[in-house]
């Protein structure tokens, strides 16, 4: 007999309560900093368990491993045993798990080791003499160049662009004229770098986070029986920080909930950290296009941002070309703001 938790009353706003109590179907929760989006996801998880859904049937996706650890710890304080596990993880870690369990169907070594960007930079620096770098300027700082190469490869994989895809595109570039020829040459060399990077990872029995998501996405898309088996584990999917999700992660999310549509995503289009704000806004447009009947709940009250900070944030966002979300500041002091004078807008 399962012992499900009693919902602990906390001070939720009316709109937070609306989101937590949302029945089956897609739900989009929008709100600025401190508006309680993550609290909604946690309380929704607890509410679903209280309503009789097994904890292991609910998937909660966080942007970073540290965020996932924090959310899991908070749920462990609220969800009583017994349960098999609380599946609170990142997209990359979820994909690593899928590939470990189903990797033979994708032609991927199920024992491949996930590696960090720092691991990859160290690997490339150690074998820098093997890299095609004739057209790339090291400027006496190979670490910076290799770091930018790894970062660019990550961005391409986030958009589902493989080394072969990039190489095919680069091969079609025009070489008419001196400048065009130089640019095309650099792009073709980068395509070679991308290929060598992936080959070295393969030789080491490693996968980067982009490979994890890319391979898992292809597996679920191309193997319907595997997709059904993986997706059937999770009757409910909750995703935090939608603004920072990549294109590949967004497609993966659709595959995971395609059978039932019980997805709740939370985020702030004005708060993108790891993506350009224009790309981040597209995440929300794509969500609404995929689930046009999704309920949208806007959290317009902040629990930690004072009036002075809220006004400054709106002004900055409007100046950057965005509408800026209207948010009711928290009660209490106005908050303090510090200013830094930078050399340029880009800085």
Q: What pLDDT is stored for residue 345 in this prediction?
A: 57
Can you read off the two tokens belonging to residue 136? 């790339």
Residue 334 confidence (pLDDT) above 70:
no
pLDDT digits (tens, 9 = 90+) for 71-123: 999 999 999 888 889 999 999 999 999 999 997 877 888 889 999 999 999 99
Is the alpha carbon torsion for 65, 87, 58, 94 positive or negative?
Answer: positive
Residue 309 confidence (pLDDT) above 80:
no
Q: What pLDDT is stored for residue 138 in this prediction?
A: 79
Instruction: Burial-class residue 16 by CB neighbours within 10 Å (0-12, 13-18, 19+).
Output: buried
- Asked whether the beta carbons of 327 and 32 are under 8 A apart, the reply is yes
- Beta strand residue intervals within the chain, DSSP E: 27-31, 58-62, 87-90, 113-114, 206-207, 236-239, 263-267, 295-299
- Asked whether the beta carbons of 339 and 56 are under 8 A apart, the reply is no
CA separation, residue 210 to residues 19, 153, 192, 251, 252 (Å): 32, 8, 18, 13, 12
Q: What gap in Å lies between CA 274 and CA 297, rounded to an integer? A: 24
At what angle are helices 247-257 and 142-158 packed, to 10 degrees? 30
Q: What gap in Å lies between CA 211 and CA 209, rounded to an integer? A: 5
Q: What pLDDT is stored for residue 6 in this prediction?
A: 46
pLDDT digits (tens, 9 = 90+) for 17-69: 999 999 999 999 999 888 999 999 999 999 999 999 999 999 999 999 999 99
Pairing mode of beta strands 58-62, 87-90: parallel
Of 310, 127, 303, residue with least CA distance to 203: 127
CA separation, residue 112 to residues 19, 82, 101, 233 (Å): 39, 32, 12, 23
* DSSP conformation class of 328: B
Q: What pLDDT is stored for residue 137 in this prediction?
A: 81
Q: What pLDDT is stored for residue 4 in this prediction?
A: 46
CA separation, residue 318 to residues 279, 293, 312, 321 (Å): 17, 29, 10, 5
CATH number for the domain formed by residue range(s) 14-100+221-299: 3.40.50.300
Q: What gap in Å lies between CA 312 and CA 197, rounded to an integer? A: 43
Delimit the CATH 3.40.50.300 region(s) of the chain: 14-100+221-299
């Amino acid at each position: 007999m399962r012992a499900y938790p009693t919902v602990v009353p906390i001070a939720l706003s009316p709109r937070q309560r609306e989101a937590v109590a949302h029945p089956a179907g897609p739900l989009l929760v929008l709100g600025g900093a401190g508006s309680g989006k993550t609290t909604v996801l946690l309380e929704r998880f607890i509410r679903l368990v209280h309503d009789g859904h097994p904890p292991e049937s609910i998937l909660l996706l966080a942007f970073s491993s540290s965020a996932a650890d924090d959310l899991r710890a908070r749920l462990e304080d609220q969800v009583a045993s017994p349960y098999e596990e609380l599946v609170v993880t990142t997209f990359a870690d979820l994909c690593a798990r899928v590939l470990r369990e189903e990797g033979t169907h994708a032609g991927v070594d199920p024992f491949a080791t996930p590696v960090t960007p720092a691991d990859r930079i160290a690997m490339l620096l150690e074998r820098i003499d093997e890299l095609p770098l004739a057209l790339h300027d090291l400027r006496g700082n190979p670490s910076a160049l290799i770091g930018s190469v790894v970062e660019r490869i990550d961005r391409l994989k986030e958009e589902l662009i493989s080394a072969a895809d990039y190489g095919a595109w680069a091969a079609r570039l025009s070489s008419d004229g001196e400048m065009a020829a130089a640019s095309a040459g650099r792009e073709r060399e980068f395509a070679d770098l991308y290929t060598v990077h992936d080959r070295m990872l393969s030789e080491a029995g490693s996968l980067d986070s982009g490979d994890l998501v890319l391979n898992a996405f292809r597996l679920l898309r191309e193997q319907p029986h595997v997709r059904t088996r993986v997706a059937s584990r999770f009757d409910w999917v909750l995703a935090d920080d939608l603004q920072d999700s990549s294109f590949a992660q967004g497609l993966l999310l659709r595959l995971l909930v395609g059978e039932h549509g019980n997805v709740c995503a939370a985020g702030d289009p004005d708060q993108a950290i790891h993506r350009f704000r224009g790309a981040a806004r597209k995440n929300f447009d794509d969500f609404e296009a995929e689930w046009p009947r999704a309920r949208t709940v806007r959290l317009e009250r902040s629990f930690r941002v004072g009036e002075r900070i809220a006004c400054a944030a709106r002004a900055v966002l409007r100046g950057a070309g965005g509408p800026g979300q209207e948010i009711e500041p928290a009660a209490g002091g106005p908050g303090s703001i510090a200013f830094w004078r930078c050399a340029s807008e880009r800085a």
